[in-house]
């Protein structure tokens, strides 16, 4: 008897879903990225119980046409990539066509959506990957996803969820990064009926930083703007006097995408060498702009890691940009403030 067995479609679907949907925060990340890709200028997220029983994402983006609604939930179904060439320079956050299929496989999903010019919007329901309902609905242009009972059909995954407050905090971090990565989008976050974030969407990074981190943090920042070898750098670094005990306040974004980059972190800290007291590290909210061809985002579904085709220009831009900002004149050196 042969030992090799091809997994049935349902099991294969659940395994694939697990790659994308690890916890409530991964659902929110995927849904808000879709909202950004749809051109939304306002995104509201509401959650209950750490998102485990209820998550709602509402945007005012393009909406999904009735004829595309069911297809949007199929694995590898995307409106963002059409050819191999498109893969070489991805300008959208999504491109795998996996998120909606994955979320729908492991939760109960309700979708309300309308495009411009359609006579009626659509209400669609899909539970555990099985379509329940599709009907006309009156709604404004844009899209609302309601995701209920995450992992209701995969008890093993459910067991790995942390306490509500821990899951809610992970979602809050996703929302913070959303506001910081897209200051032109107004971002609201409602957590167990309490609004904890409301960024104005006025296009100014400083307004977003203020909304996310508050007055004191914002007051301790130095603006940074630089360009080097095709890498644009803009945002804020902390004044040396406002440095922190750990790296939790170092935020890097590349082409509007939150990333973890060792290269950028090392460049930042090298540039601060000699300006900080022992044991302190700088904080930052730094955006980098680089041609879409120069970065490979196709590393992992969660896409927080990116690969630069060439790390050197990124290092140099951050290093020189930060040095320049630090020495822009209005900053006392470490000697001055130690006295």
| For Mg ion, the closer CB: 105 or 264 | 105
| For ligand ADP, the closer CB: 35 or 154 | 35
H-only helix segments in 151-204: 155-159, 164-181
Which token pair is 336?
């001055």
User: Is residue 213 within 8 Å of residue 266, measured between CB atoms?
Assistant: no
243 touches Mg ion by CB under 5 A: no
Pick the binder of ligand ADP from 72, 170, 221, 233 (CB under 6 A): 72
Count other Cβ atoms within 10 Å, centred on residue 16. 17
Beta bridge partners of 131: 126
User: Is residue 122 within 8 Å of residue 134, measured between CB atoms?
Assistant: yes
34 touches Mg ion by CB under 5 A: yes
Pick the binder of ligand ADP from 58, 60, 62, 154 (CB under 6 A): 62
Burial class (CB in 10 A: 0-12, 13-18, 19+), 191: buried
Per DSSP, the three-state class of 226 is: strand
79 touches ligand ADP by CB under 6 A: yes
Contact segment (CB under 6 A) with ligand ADP among 71-79, 150-158, 183-191, 326-334 equals: 71-79
Mask: binding to Mg ion, 39-78, rule CB under 5 A, as x and -?
A: ----------------------------------------
The residue nearest Mg ion at its CB is 94
| For ligand ADP, the closer CB: 251 or 303 | 303
Alpha carbon distances (Å) from 255 to 88, 89, 259, 289: 15, 12, 10, 5
| For Mg ion, the closer CB: 99 or 114 | 99
Q: H or E element: which one contains 104? A: helix 99-105
Tell which positions 90-129 bind ligand ADP, by CB under 6 A. Answer: 94-100
DSSP 245: S
Contact segment (CB under 6 A) with ligand ADP among 74-82, 147-155, 166-174, 243-251 equals: 74-82
CA 80-81-87 angle, to 5 degrees, is 125
| For ligand ADP, the closer CB: 34 or 275 | 34
Q: Which does 78 bind (CB under 5 to 8 A by kind): ligand ADP, Mg ion, none?
A: ligand ADP
The rounded distance, in Å, linking the Cα atoms of 213 and 222 is 15
224 touches ligand ADP by CB under 6 A: no
Residues in the chain: 339
Beta bridge partners of 195: 190
Mask: binding to ligand ADP, 19-38, rule CB under 6 A, as x and -?
A: -----------x---xx--x
183 touches Mg ion by CB under 5 A: no
Which residues here bind Mg ion, judged by CB under 5 A?
Answer: 34, 94, 99
**Residue ranges binding ligand ADP (CB under 6 A):** 30, 34-35, 38, 59, 61-64, 72, 77-80, 94-100, 143
């Amino acid at each position: 008897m042969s030992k090799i067995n091809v997994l049935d479609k349902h099991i294969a679907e659940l395994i694939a879903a697990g790659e994308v949907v690890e916890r409530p925060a991964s659902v929110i990340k995927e849904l808000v990225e879709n909202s950004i890709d749809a051109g939304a200028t306002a995104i509201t997220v509401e959650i209950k119980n750490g998102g485990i029983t209820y998550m709602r994402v509402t945007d005012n983006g393009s909406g999904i046409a009735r004829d595309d609604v069911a297809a949007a939930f199929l694995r590898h179904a995307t409106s963002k990539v059409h050819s191999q060439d498109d893969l070489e320079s991805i300008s959208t956050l999504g491109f795998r066509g996996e998120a909606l299929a994955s979320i729908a496989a492991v939760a109960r999903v309700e979708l309300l959506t309308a495009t411009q010019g359609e006579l009626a919007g659509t209400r669609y329901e899909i539970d555990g990957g099985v379509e329940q309902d599709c009907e006309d609905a009156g709604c404004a242009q844009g899209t609302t996803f309601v995701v209920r009972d995450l992992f209701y059909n995969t008890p093993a995954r459910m067991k790995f969820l942390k306490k509500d407050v821990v899951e809610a905090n992970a979602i809050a971090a996703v929302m913070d990064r959303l506001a910081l990565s897209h200051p032109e989008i107004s971002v609201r976050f409602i957590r167990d009926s309490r609004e904890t974030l409301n960024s104005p969407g006025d296009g100014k990074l400083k307004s977003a930083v203020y909304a996310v981190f508050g007055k004191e943090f914002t007051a301790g920042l130095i603006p940074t703007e630089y360009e080097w070898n095709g890498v644009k750098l803009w945002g804020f670094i902390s004044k040396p006097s406002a440095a922190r005990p750990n790296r939790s306040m170092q935020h890097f974004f590349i082409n509007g995408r939150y990333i973890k980059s060792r290269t950028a972190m090392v460049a930042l800290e090298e540039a601060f060498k000699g300006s900080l007291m022992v044991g302190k590290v700088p904080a930052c909210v730094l955006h980098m702009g680089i041609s879409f061809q120069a970065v490979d985002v196709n590393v992992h579904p969660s896409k927080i890691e990116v690969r630069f085709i060439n790390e050197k220009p990124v290092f140099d831009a951050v290093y020189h940009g930060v040095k320049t900002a630090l020495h822009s004149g209005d900053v006392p050196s470490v000697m001055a403030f130690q006295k």
